[in-house]
């Protein structure tokens, strides 16, 4: 019984550690999901990297900025990628807009 319990705890710990994403830097075109792309009902920043579109979060909130509502800008975003409800997010720790 102890062996089974230890095995289950070890498996759970291993899964938890492997599920934590590493931070990466993504480079792409930052724009507004509502104003530029027409894919949302409210303004929110996105980063398009190749054919993949990421929604941006910063400090636990969806990120919005005025400068990308009127156009787009090249940007480097450092953060962790997550998938929720079929959408891809970057939880940003650093955003550099060119």
pLDDT value of position 29: 95
Q: What is the pLDDT of residues 13-33, one digit of tens each?
A: 444 444 457 999 999 999 999
Q: What's the mean pLDDT when you consider all of the chain? A: 82
| Domain at 57, CATH number | 2.40.50
Model's pTM, two decimal places?
0.74
Phi-psi region of 60 (alpha: psi -120 to 50; beta: other; left: phi over 0): left
pLDDT value of position 59: 81
pLDDT value of position 2: 57
Find the domain containing 52 and state its range: 22-97
What domain count does the chain have? 1
Residue 57 to residue 48: CA distance in whole angstroms: 14
Q: What is the pLDDT of residues 32-63, one digit of tens each?
A: 999 988 988 989 999 999 999 999 998 878 87
Dihedral sign for Cα atoms in the order 35, 36, 40, 44 = negative
Question: Which residue reads 């792409």 in tokens?
Answer: 28
């Amino acid at each position: 019984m102890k062996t089974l319990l230890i095995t289950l705890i070890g498996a759970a710990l291993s899964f938890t550690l492997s599920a934590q994403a590493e931070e990466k830097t993504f480079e792409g075109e930052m724009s507004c999901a509502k104003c530029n792309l027409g894919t949302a009902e409210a303004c929110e920043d996105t980063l398009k990297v190749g054919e993949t579109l990421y929604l941006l979060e910063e400090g636990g909130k969806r990120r919005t900025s005025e400068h990308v509502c009127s156009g787009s800008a090249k940007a480097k975003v450092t953060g962790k990628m997550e998938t929720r409800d079929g959408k891809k997010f970057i939880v940003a720790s650093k955003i550099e807009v060119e």
